[in-house]
Structure 1
Amino acid sequence: MKKNERCLAILEILQKQHKVTVTELSEKFDISEMTVRRDLNSLAREYNIARTHGGAELGNQPVVRMISFDEPRIAHKEDKDKIAALAATMIQNGQRIFIDAGSTTRIILNYLEKETRAVVVTHHLAVAEHALQFENLAVIMLGGDMIRITNCSSGPVAEEQLKKYQLDTAFIGAAAIGSDGKLYDGYSPEARLKGTLFSVAKKIYVLADSSKMNTYNLNEFGSLSQIDGLITDANIDEEAMTLMKRHRVNVIIAE
């Protein structure tokens, strides 16, 4: 089993039983305890799990992927800037658009022309605050339960509110795009909200840098066959391009 597959399996175990031991995981995956410790240390840097002396614990909460909001620390930032800039050029006057909390999508407004007239719907506080700086943008912030880690609203209230809207375009991120053609997120409420968009948006574009290709995460929220385009960087490899062609995805390269 590859490391990423094993790490996802560990997260699923934590989701179910809330704690694990190094010895338990070593026996389950037939790997050394040192390898288990490295896996747990890696997961603790990316997810809301706590390392303990003999393993790791989650507590009575869902697994959440920790999204960095410290812009200088965001990985592949140059590629993400190019992707966001290209996406901004696709927003037309009079459109109703959705922007999610992804590390690429949330910077789209950095590149939007000040004269653009549109309605921006979002569940991310920083996106809403940024959009309010544009005199010609109407801004709708979804309600619901606020996630402290990500500064986003989520849950049934946000999902039901979103279902009442008709959107022209949704720009969403993905924590991973699997070789199975599925789109993944690291947090189940976020995944459910993204899944709702497929029934309310005329067009959906996924913004994902090439490092997200052929990887997996915890929660599936859609498939490549459901989207209108993938905006990515020029480093996308042949394997990923073959996957996109198989699912007839319009790949838009941000140079």
Structure 2
Amino acid sequence: MDETNMSRHAAILAQTRASGKVSATALAAQLGVTVQTIRRDLRTLVESGALERIHGGAVPASGVGNIGYGDRRALHREAKARIAAATARLIPHRASLFLNIGTTTKSVAHALRNHSDLMVVTNNLNVANILAQNLRCDVIVAGGQLRRADGGLVGDLATMAIERFKVDYAVIGASAIDAEGDLLDFDAQEVHVSRAILAQARQSIVVADASKFTRKAPVRIGSLMQADILVTDAAPSERLVNACADWGTRITLA
């Protein structure tokens, strides 16, 4: 990489850290280059793990703080839709299931709108509102503290509500999955609920787009070892594929 590109990348990273989000159009004007050049720069920085793409620009890669809900919702929409469709095919009619907080599980809720005779327990108000449109689906909302940013219900009350059920399937998302197969998130209260969901299901399905394999988050939910199926849009590393084979965790590519 030449010095001009390195200098521009450094400027992009500095601007992203300062503002929390940058747009390709604004960066092009600020740095005096074309939007196409900035898009190539952003692609390089995303591939290096320094940034994450959102519609029209980028945000800093996650570490100890999650990306805002609106930006997360815009990330990898097509991949999430494919994952959701593949997951819905795994869920039969007349099943009971948990859906936890997350933009991918929200996509799964959309994909389940034509299922019949479901009972869905969720701590995700977005999921509840989507599935309320399906008159053949019973929706039970786990009470808890409302997290206004994303409609999540967390805390001890939510955990206690989840523990009252034993369902056929748990469908859970995570903010990151590391090389050891650990499922990671940012909010310890949310993690307690997700652990309860895993413990109270007969079968567990983890839904995660491929970007989750390169992200970081500080709080451990559990391990892919506890999951029956991982639904994703691209194969993880060979190391993780081999580990899943050893654990009996099936990988389904959407």
For normalisation by structure 1, the TM-score amounts to 0.71
Given the alignment of the two structures, is residue 148 of structure 1 paired with residue 124 of structure 2, yes or no?
Answer: no
1:67-78 equivalences under 5 Å are 67-69=68-70, 74-78=74-78
| 1:189-245 per-position Cα deviation (integer Å, ceiling 9, x unaligned) | 111110111221111100001111154311101111111110001354434423433
RMSD, matched Cα: 2.6
Runs of 4+ displaced beyond 6 Å:
none
Quote how far apart the aligned CAs of 1:158 are: 0.5
2 CA distance for matches of 1:43 and 1:219? 25
More helix by share: 2
| One-letter code aligned to 1:181 | G
CA positional deviation for 1:38: 4.4
Name the counterpart of 1:85.
85
Distance 1:120 1:64, change over 3 A: farther
Q: Residues 200-239 of structure 1 correspond to what in structure 2 (within 5 A)?
A: 200-234=200-234, 236-239=236-239
Q: 1:123-144: CA deviations, max 9, x gaps?
A: 1111111111101000101111
Structure 1's unaligned 5+ residue stretches are 1-33, 46-62
Written as runs of structure 1 = structure 2, the 5 A alignment for 1:1-255 is 38=14, 41=17, 44=20, 65-69=66-70, 74-112=74-112, 114-234=114-234, 236-254=236-254
CA distance in 2, matches of 1:172, 1:42: 33
- Please tell me whether the aligned partners of residues 95 and 118 of structure 1 are also in contact (alpha carbons under 8 angstroms): yes
Superposed displacement of residue 43, structure 1: 10
Q: In the aligned structure 1, how far is the partner of 2:244 from the partner of 2:87?
A: 19
CA displacement at 1:64 relative to structure 2? 5.4
* Contact kept? 2:180, 2:240, Cα under 8 Å: no
Q: SS at the partner of 1:168?
A: strand
Q: Is the 8 A contact 2:105 2:127 kept in 1?
A: no
